Amino acid sequence: MNHSRHCSRPGCGRPAVATLTYAYSQQTAVVGPLAEETDPHSWDLCEKHSSRITAPIGWEMVRVDRIELDEEDDLMALAEAVREAGRVTTGLVDDGAGSGSDPIDYAANFDGADPDSSNHPVFRTRRVSEAKQHRRAHLTVVRDESEEAALSDVDRGNHHRVRED
């Protein structure tokens, strides 16, 4: 039975051609050919995403075009062997965002750290909260004039009704 695997990036349905694996102890991200078996600790990527993805800040990115491993070799040995292949310390995705829903399609001049335009949940939540504070509520509290006359001065501040604007 042949099951085709797809890119693990949300919203991407392209066929997978590479596998991304993180070697956490060595702070290394390895992009190599599509693994023969699926692994819950690795991510399948399409050609576009595998060529554009970068390592987290402070990590090394290793790109391997072809892997020839014996059964006893493991990913940690591979990451150590190609460790000197180069360093990429920009972030998980390419610099630049802003136009599309996929960060890989964002404009080159987009600043993901800009709180006014970033779609990061921290900044987006802050903007939504500020917008809620500035918008006018559709309900206001008013005194009930019929009860106001009957109330003593002490109770007058405790009885209100709500009307819809």
- What's the chain's Rg over C-alpha atoms? 28
Give pLDDT tens digits for 33-81.
Answer: 888 877 788 899 999 999 999 888 988 888 887 655 555 555 655 555 5
How would DSSP label each residue in 18-39? EEEEEEGGGTEEEEEEPPSS--
Residue with tokens 């078996």: 37
CB 57 within 8 A of CB 19: no
For residue 82, being part of any structural domain is answered with yes
Does residue 119 sit within a domain?
A: no
Q: Say if 98 falls within a structural domain.
A: no
Residue 87 belongs to domain spanning: 18-92
In a domain, 31, yes or no: yes
Domain tally for the chain? 1
State how far the Cα of 15 lies from the Cα of 161, in Å rounded to an integer: 60
Q: What tens digit of pLDDT does each residue of 85-120 get? A: 444 444 444 444 444 445 555 555 555 566 666 555
Q: Report yes or no on 67 lying in a domain.
A: yes
Residue 104 placed within a domain: no
Has residue 58 been placed in a domain?
A: yes
Q: pTM, whole model, 2 decimals?
A: 0.41
